[in-house]
A and B are shown apart, each in its own frame.
Chain A
Amino acid sequence: AQRVTQPEKLLSVFKGAPVELKCNYSYSGSPELFWYVQYSRQRLQLLLRHISRESIKGFTADLNKGETSFHLKKPFAQEEDSAMYYCALSEGTSYGKLTFGQGTILTVHP
């Protein structure tokens, strides 16, 4: 069965510092990977997906099939990046059925 692991429950950085949220997955096929974000008092929403290969709000994520990782990176963190981040995996043939990681709470200090 597929599994998504986010090893850091909490991550704290200072404004302007680089940030990396780790995500590792286990799946034997070709997965589709996502990052979802939940800001304080807001709904969970899609941040980015690996097939789009785009930068959203300065965040990027590269799928590394060799290391089975999909880490989320931003070179200069901002206070408004403080949120809960979830990595998620789709088997690709499912009806939008995603497996989520445990989540990482990112706090960016001024």
Chain B
Amino acid sequence: DVKVTQSSRYLVKRTGEKVFLECVQDMDHENMFWYRQDPGLGLRLIYFSYDVKMKEKGDIPEGYSVSREKKERFSLILESASTNQTSMYLCASSRGRPSGANVLTFGAGSRLTVL
């Protein structure tokens, strides 16, 4: 029944390491998103994609990049991890416009700790 799968539930990385967070959805959704979830700050959008090979910056894209080579897969990349990127990362997907675009289906989350 799992529809949005995030490959890693928990990761521990060192400062300066390159980190890949993978997300796969099986609902044939056009839109995919990466948010980070921090206590007291809520969810903040990092990047989103509305089509294969398309990407748009969200509110906090600095220090991150993304890749969407296939419709079902959306990867978040931290080129050089820093301690302030320690967080819970949530992947989500939604159908294309006009209907259903705002009904997001979320993954279970990837908790990243950068030492």
Interface residues of A (CB under 8 A from B): 4, 6, 9, 32, 34, 36, 43-46, 49, 86, 88, 90, 94-103
Contacts and interface: CB of A to CB of B under 8 A. Distances in A.
Contact of B102 (A4, A32, A102): A32
A102 B103 contact: no
Interface string B76-107: 00000000000000101011110001111111
A100 B42 CA distance: 6
A55 to B, nearest CB: 18
Given A32-B102, A49-B102, A90-B102, A101 B42 contact: yes
Given A36-B104, A45-B105, A95-B56, 8 more contacts: A44-B43, A44-B92, A46-B104, A95-B48, A96-B33, A97-B48, A102-B40, A102-B42
A102 B41 contact: yes
Contacts of A4: 42
Residue with the greatest number of chain A CB neighbours at <10 A, chosen from B42, B58, B105: B42
B52 interface: no
The interface residues of chain A, by DSSP majority, are classed as: strand
Contacts of B106: 43-45
A41 to B, nearest CB: 9
A49 B40 contact: no
Contacts of A97: 33, 45, 48, 56, 58
B25 interface: no
A102 B104 CA distance: 17
A58 B104 CA distance: 21
A95 B58 contact: no
B74 interface: no
